[in-house]
Structure 1
């Protein structure tokens, strides 16, 4: 089954989950606050998408962090920041193996070949 990573109480996550349900794509939620952040996956996502795609710089969590934590980010600093502050990870995140979807973009999602096993 498809796994969607994020935080349960998030407007963007709600829109993404509604879109998946409307398109009859079965999924399960991996809630960072409840289930934690899978460290090995986070490192892999960062390698594949870059920290710039994963860090939600517009979110409340990131904006409330002290400047010394958010300044001069690089791979190592961003990984540490996201590990310590999972709410700062852009969401939703769906790992399709060959493709990594970061954030909800209805137009982009409409063009995705979703796994048949999840329908």
Structure 2
């Protein structure tokens, strides 16, 4: 089997496939937050939030720092440049295919309108 995605892209897309994790990224875009405050915000257990944060950490999207008893989360330095480039390349492929399909449909409609009615 041919691998089309690097492991970094796999981790990023897997992390971003969950609505809660996307919400965490949105929340951290507004400012750093403790795992406890994130758990409260998303109305979930501390254990559940820790699991989501670990997935985001493995993907490099979030970093955490423990000071005393508080673990604070912030956006990681990973960014999403490679992911955005992959999406854009595939978006262009879809666009090209849909334009070709539009041409075929247009030709079929013109042929149908050129045929004499019985």
Which protein is bigger by CA-based radius of gyration?
2
User: What's the TM-score, normalizing by structure 1?
Assistant: 0.25
Structure 2 length normalisation: TM-score?
0.25
Q: Which has the higher contact order (CA 8 A, sep 6+)?
A: 1
